[in-house]
Amino acid sequence: MKYLNQILNPVKKASPILYWVVILHVIFAIICAIGLAIDDRTLMGINVWIKPLKFSISGGIYILTLGILTTLYPYSKRKRSIITNVVAITLLLEIGIIIYQAARGVQSHYNISSPFDGILFAAMGILIAINVLIMVLFIFDTIRLKLNTAKSIQWAILLGWIIVVFGSWVGGQMISQMAHNVGVADGGAGLPLVNWSTIAGDLRVAHFFGLHAIQVIPLFALWVTKKWNFTNKNQILAVTIFGLLYAGWIAYTFYQAKMGMALIQL
């Protein structure tokens, strides 16, 4: 609990709105877990509450990560507030739409079955596009500014943001084909919880790993700086190798999906 407070308190102080949106995502995840336990409705072969549960968890992690990272940038209080508030509010609206559609028992993504559903889907696209632009802003700021952290960690953050933008591009590929599966219609047999297809290609695999690069690569860099007695140059080299391997894995899962092959064939 003490370690958790050391992480959360600076975020709460610097970005109170973002902090409370993270708390709301935790509450949403609990509500979705309860829904999963008491509501047996299914949509495309899985419980209607699995998708909002996944998005509540992943969205909360992303928002918190961004809140932590912004404390490293030499931003003015005003600029930091604008960035964190825009991210927090847009992603709160995004998860709100996903939960609302789940409660109705209909798809949130790729749903244009009615004008109302089409408007909600279009709104989600606009909200995500805003966040992608902010990701691009972070790429430029990470290049041009000196962050309040070790050089290897700053380098890892830059690699993380670049790969996250690629992961978002994969999301755009899914939107362009109005589906996440390749080779078969969405739905059907999938891995537990994530529901990645076990019979055909699934672009959500590359999308997932791409979006979480901003946690994985900086955490690796933090571990290197804490545990390895390396020079700055060697720390950066280690982070670069790890980042390239991670990017290579994402590229492979994207290629695999586009070829219609499941990550794990069952």
Write out the chain's pLDDT in tens, 266 residues: 666 777 788 899 999 999 999 999 999 999 999 999 999 999 988 999 999 999 999 999 999 999 999 999 999 999 999 999 999 999 999 999 999 999 999 999 999 999 999 999 999 999 999 999 999 999 999 999 999 999 999 999 999 999 999 999 999 999 999 999 998 999 877 898 899 999 999 999 999 999 999 999 999 999 999 888 788 899 999 999 999 999 999 999 999 999 999 999 87
- At 93, the amino acid letter reads L
Q: pTM for the full model?
A: 0.94
For residue 83, CA distances in Å to 31, 56, 67, 160, 163 come to 28, 20, 9, 18, 20
- Give the chain's length: 266
Give 52-92 as a DSSP string.
HHHHHHHHHHHHHHHHHHHTTS---HHHHHHHHHHHHHHHH
Contact (CB, 8 A) for 74 and 146 = yes
Q: Which of 151, 140, 158, 46 is nearest to 102 (CA)?
A: 46
